[in-house]
Structure 1
Amino acid sequence: MANGNLEKMERVSTSASDADRLAQMGHVQELRRDFSIWSLGALCLCLMATWEALSTVVATALTTGGAPCLFWNLLISVICTVAIACSLGEIASIYPTAGGQYHWVAALSPPSTRAVASWFTGWINVGGQIVLTASAAFAAGLQLQSLIILNDDSYVPQRYQGMLFYWAVLLYATLMNIWGSRLLPTANLLAGILHIAGFFAILIVLAVMAPKNTAHFVFLETTNASGWSSEGVSWLVGLLSSVYPLLGYDAACHLAEEMPHASRNVPLAMVGSVSVNGLLGLGYCIMLLFSTGPLDELLGTKTGFPFMQIYYNTTQSAAGATVMSLILIIIAMIATVAGITSTSRTFWAFSRDKAVPFHDFFSYVNPRSQIPVRSILIVFFLQLLLGFIYLGNSTAFNAILSMAILGLYASYFIPIVYFLIHGRPKLQAHEFGVFRLSKPLGVVLNLLACAWLIVAMIFSTFPTAMPVTPQNMNYSSVVMVGWTFLGGLYYFVRGRKKFEVPVVDREARGF
């Protein structure tokens, strides 16, 4: 009995501490703190879905530099992404709020740029999260459709059917976020187990049954089937194959108001999920590249997904390839659930600070469920509309999805730069959070993170193949400029008059 009372008192004390910290950053506690470090870490693991996402980009990597392009770029990407996660984690430990990046920029930037820098960071981050979640739902939907192709030679896929599959995944994820919200922590834990168990199951099947390429092919044999005259540029264009599978770990910071000890647990979830997924991704990458088989066969697969062809060639069975593929599809559906959770919290926080149209409506939190239902529904609705774009023009739809790297990476870059210039040199020791890097290590990781973000953003805008056609053109920069222009138009016409820039009580910030 005494132990039970002690645990209850500790939970109450933790809750009060987190609520007090949130109050010092200008907000009141409105959401339930249901997530633990384990359930939050599992959410980030499945949202990133690194080894699963690698399956879908292997063909692109093989045409823009060969197998070594994917492996070595992934290795570099993992190292640099850990640096980014550590950099963001240190800031999240100081300012653990659902707003994440835009709130950090507001706290770190000088008054002259505070409002505009904070608002645009939030706007870009919301856009990046929306399309990243849509890409997970789109992958799950089209892969479900491809399972029919794999098992039925007479089936002729239609674009509208792919859209319906995409909508079905989004609907499931939305219903889970609203009516299954109390199950999310447990569901994420189970999903994390499937994520790791599925990795080992597929790894063992490929190791035992798949015909193997040579080590020279995997690690050294470069090829350039992209059409770029420079092998170096072709290699760097292949960065997209290693960057995309490592997106989404900032979801932890957007759930900071839904877990205890957020100052400690949010950075641990971010850095831990990147580290674990990085190791899993590297292991799976090596085995997948050993098992690819002829490139022409992968590119010409009737399913549209080369990894399904690899699984089929390995098992020589449609049923075996279906079971293996279902693991990836289930994780993609779970990633959609996690993405809507994270994106809706960001949109809700942005609405709370009066940064979007109809902010009073979207900042509402259901008092019974303690979740931002309206923000969940608007995220669902916006992603639903993207389905019509896919129905009309798949190139335009893919262009919108390709904005995920630019949007998220820009939202990572801005707060790290402000922290380097205005945060680390000026903050007192007591103003840092629980997760604190030493000054020399912190500066090195911040600089490495910024350098990688710049390189990745630049080359993620390059087309993956030459000559450029309307179909293979990389429109990510166009979409990014368009999204930023729309946001800027709203901000300067109306938003800047309403936006309540997040503030931090520096006198009370001795966490």
Structure 2
Amino acid sequence: MAARASSVHDGARNPDAALANMGYKSELPRSLSMMSILGLSFAIMAVPFGLSTTMFYSLTDGQSVTVLYGWIFVSIISLSIAASLAEICAVFPTAGGVYYWSAMLSTKEYAPIVSWVDGWLGLVGNWTVTLSINFSGAQLILSAITLWNEDFAASPWQTVLMFWGVMAIVFSVNVFGAKYLDLINKVCIYWTGASVIIIIVTVLVMSDDRRNAEFVFTHFDASASGWPSGWAWFVGLLQAAYTLTGYGMVAAMCEEVQMPEREVPRAMVLSVAAAGVTGVIYLIPILFVLPDVSLLLSVANGQPIGLVFKTATGSAGGGFALLFLILVILFFAGVGSLTAASRCTYAFARDGAIPGSRLWAKVDKRFDIPLWGLVLSTVVDCILGCIYFGSTSAFNAFTGVATICLSVSYGIPILVSVMRGRKAVKHSTFSLGKFGFFINICTIMWIALAVVLFCMPTAILDLTPVSMNYASVVFMGFAMISLIWYIISGRKNFTGPPVPADISAEHDGQVVGGVGRITTVDEHPSNASSEGKGESSSFK
């Protein structure tokens, strides 16, 4: 890997040259800093927002013990996954992210299919994370009405229309405010930190009815779920796992950072560490002022956090003031997740893996963004939101699919790296050293368990077709689309991302990334003449 390490370090001086060495032409402005990427990752995880909108899961499946210790457990696991990805990202800093890494780490024979599968998992994960963030945001906005009118229950039409409105806003910001994304991401860090402080101080000071420490730190009750106690605790981890899942998405921003091999890995790990600490600081005070759990679980809109704030402050106005802080975090999360999803779409389309790839891989020179990739991501999410018309538990499916797809997409390059003896990351500038193998194995085991866990319904008491968790159905639907497109086009034309010449020369196409043939920079579709700039086609 000496040649690869050298090319990466050269990239610190000339990132565009390093990208060209990986087979791609730089088309996006490198205008983002490490703090911006940190803010983007922090925005996508959106700790107070994510924990608030998924509180229903952990309250159903164990209450305090699941909320608090589940968060700590998943934070440690997520930090391990982020570190494992950061180690690989430091070697291959490209917008292709996990999809590209899987191909480069694999063998010549399996690189195309491994990168195809991982690419589609990552793409669907990006889309559904964006969907779940903005859909839960729409529900949270409508839940504010119940602070004054407790009998209000939004209809499916009202919820979906609000969701489309939220999507329209975050889409517009990504297009017309693209040059301000760096600033938006940085502001997110300070707004989130200030919001957490304001919320915890307010609820602790104003609440007249506080729980005791025994409830906060030792209370466990999974009777509302119907699951056995131990299994209920694991099912309830979806709250934490869903919130702490977006850090790997920022790899799609590598081509917009000056020193991606250094800054993006650091941002991944630091954002998870910061999110873990923020979550503990936020959750403990909330548990101390938690109203009657059965009352929270009976909230018609499934978003009990507004009632928590209203009860703690003693007024609807006070509750809304705290809820407003969370809604602004929704704005940052919605914008950031759609940004990452559009870059993921652009990168995967650039290698000809999506129907209509030429269009989705175009970079609009007016805004310096992959505009059509942004459009596709937005339209797909808006269509998926219509599932809510058929199932009021659609949000369960969205969060489950997002968590499963992203987790598995993260796990594939880690698994391939382990199977290849971790040779490709031996000289990574973000090396895990002698602990790397152990950390990688732990993350793989957790991801395998998570796939099963998050297909489970939150509760099995009074389970109906409407309340069922359809995560597996949505997951299989996208799997069928991927399989059909592979049969139609992929198996004939798709050979994976281009192989850097230094890797192929050093390993003779056997150890790392041996796709069908070596594709030089000049041959790669993204380096075509100016007339075809930004377009992509399958490799032949």
Report the TM-score range of the alignment, normalised by the length of the smaller protein.
over 0.9
Measured after TM superposition, the shift of residue 59 of structure 1 is 3.3
Q: Deviations over 1:453-497 (max 9, x none)?
A: 122222112222124321332221222122112211111221222
Partner of 1:5: none
The aligned amino acid for 2:456 is: F
* Higher mean displacement: 360-369 or 120-129: 360-369
Q: Deviations over 1:231-256 (max 9, x none)?
A: 11111111212211101011221100
Partner of 1:414: 412
Mapped pair 1:317 → 2:312: no
Question: Secondary structure at 2:220's aligned position in 1?
Answer: coil
2:245 and 2:394 map into 1 onto residues whose CA distance is: 21
1:104 and 1:322 map into 2 onto residues whose CA distance is: 44
Partner of 1:450: 444
Q: Is 2:391–2:466's contact at 8 Å kept on the other side of the alignment?
A: no
The aligned amino acid for 1:473 is: M
1:296–1:427 CA distance, 2 compared to 1 (3 A): closer
Measured after TM superposition, the shift of residue 387 of structure 1 is 3.0
Mapped pair 1:109 → 2:106: yes
Partner of 1:486: 481
1:390–1:463 CA distance, 2 compared to 1 (3 A): closer
Mapped pair 1:460 → 2:465: no
Q: Is 2:118–2:412's contact at 8 Å kept on the other side of the alignment?
A: yes
Question: Secondary structure at 2:318's aligned position in 1?
Answer: helix
Measured after TM superposition, the shift of residue 390 of structure 1 is 2.0
Partner of 2:469: 474
* Higher mean displacement: 465-474 or 447-456: 465-474
**1:374 corresponds to which of 372, 375, 380:** 372
Q: Is 1:46–1:334's contact at 8 Å kept on the other side of the alignment?
A: yes
Q: Is 1:125–1:411's contact at 8 Å kept on the other side of the alignment?
A: yes
Mapped pair 1:76 → 2:73: yes
Q: Deviations over 1:61-84 (max 9, x none)?
A: 122122111211111111111000
Mapped pair 1:405 → 2:399: no
1:398 and 1:471 map into 2 onto residues whose CA distance is: 11
- What is the 5 A alignment of 1:123-272? 123-152=120-149, 157-210=154-207, 211-228=209-226, 230-272=228-270
1:225–1:343 CA distance, 2 compared to 1 (3 A): same
Partner of 1:436: 431
Partner of 1:86: 83
Mapped pair 1:340 → 2:344: no
2:224 and 2:105 map into 1 onto residues whose CA distance is: 42
The aligned amino acid for 1:334 is: F
1:307–1:229 CA distance, 2 compared to 1 (3 A): closer
1:156 and 1:290 map into 2 onto residues whose CA distance is: 28
1:466–1:352 CA distance, 2 compared to 1 (3 A): same
Question: Secondary structure at 2:460's aligned position in 1?
Answer: coil
Q: Is 2:60–2:297's contact at 8 Å kept on the other side of the alignment?
A: no
2:474 and 2:464 map into 1 onto residues whose CA distance is: 17
The aligned amino acid for 1:394 is: T
The aligned amino acid for 1:365 is: V
Measured after TM superposition, the shift of residue 386 of structure 1 is 2.1
Partner of 1:60: 57
1:63 and 1:400 map into 2 onto residues whose CA distance is: 18
After TM superposition, the score normalised by the length of structure 2 is 0.87
2:343 and 2:335 map into 1 onto residues whose CA distance is: 13
Question: Secondary structure at 2:393's aligned position in 1?
Answer: helix
Q: Is 2:455–2:472's contact at 8 Å kept on the other side of the alignment?
A: yes
Q: Deviations over 1:81-114 (max 9, x none)?
A: 1000000000011001111011000000111211
Partner of 2:517: none
The aligned amino acid for 1:317 is: S
> Moved runs in structure 1, 4+ residues, more than 4 A?
13-16, 152-156
Partner of 1:358: 356
- What is the 5 A alignment of 1:15-54? 17-54=14-51
The aligned amino acid for 1:183 is: Y
The aligned amino acid for 1:275 is: A
The aligned amino acid for 1:97 is: T
Q: Deviations over 1:177-211 (max 9, x none)?
A: 11110011011111221111101110111222222
Q: Is 2:89–2:97's contact at 8 Å kept on the other side of the alignment?
A: yes
2:159 and 2:425 map into 1 onto residues whose CA distance is: 54
Partner of 1:301: 299
**1:501 corresponds to which of 496, 503, 506:** 496
The aligned amino acid for 1:95 is: F
Q: Is 1:464–1:472's contact at 8 Å kept on the other side of the alignment?
A: no
Q: Is 1:386–1:397's contact at 8 Å kept on the other side of the alignment?
A: no
1:502 and 1:218 map into 2 onto residues whose CA distance is: 50
1:250–1:183 CA distance, 2 compared to 1 (3 A): same
The aligned amino acid for 2:481 is: L
Partner of 1:7: none
Question: Secondary structure at 2:30's aligned position in 1?
Answer: coil
1:392–1:464 CA distance, 2 compared to 1 (3 A): closer
The aligned amino acid for 2:397 is: A
Q: Deviations over 1:410-469 (max 9, x none)?
A: 101111001112261x3385xx3322221x211121112112212222211222212432
1:68 and 1:154 map into 2 onto residues whose CA distance is: 31
1:357–1:302 CA distance, 2 compared to 1 (3 A): closer
* Higher mean displacement: 458-467 or 341-350: 458-467
Partner of 1:283: 281
The aligned amino acid for 1:67 is: S
Question: Secondary structure at 1:452's aligned position in 2?
Answer: helix
Measured after TM superposition, the shift of residue 303 of structure 1 is 5.4
Question: Secondary structure at 1:394's aligned position in 2?
Answer: coil
Measured after TM superposition, the shift of residue 24 of structure 1 is 1.4
Measured after TM superposition, the shift of residue 151 of structure 1 is 2.9
Question: Secondary structure at 2:159's aligned position in 1?
Answer: helix
Partner of 2:3: none
Q: Is 2:53–2:140's contact at 8 Å kept on the other side of the alignment?
A: no
Measured after TM superposition, the shift of residue 158 of structure 1 is 2.7
2:77 and 2:398 map into 1 onto residues whose CA distance is: 25
Q: Is 2:102–2:115's contact at 8 Å kept on the other side of the alignment?
A: yes
2:389 and 2:224 map into 1 onto residues whose CA distance is: 28
Q: Is 2:392–2:467's contact at 8 Å kept on the other side of the alignment?
A: no
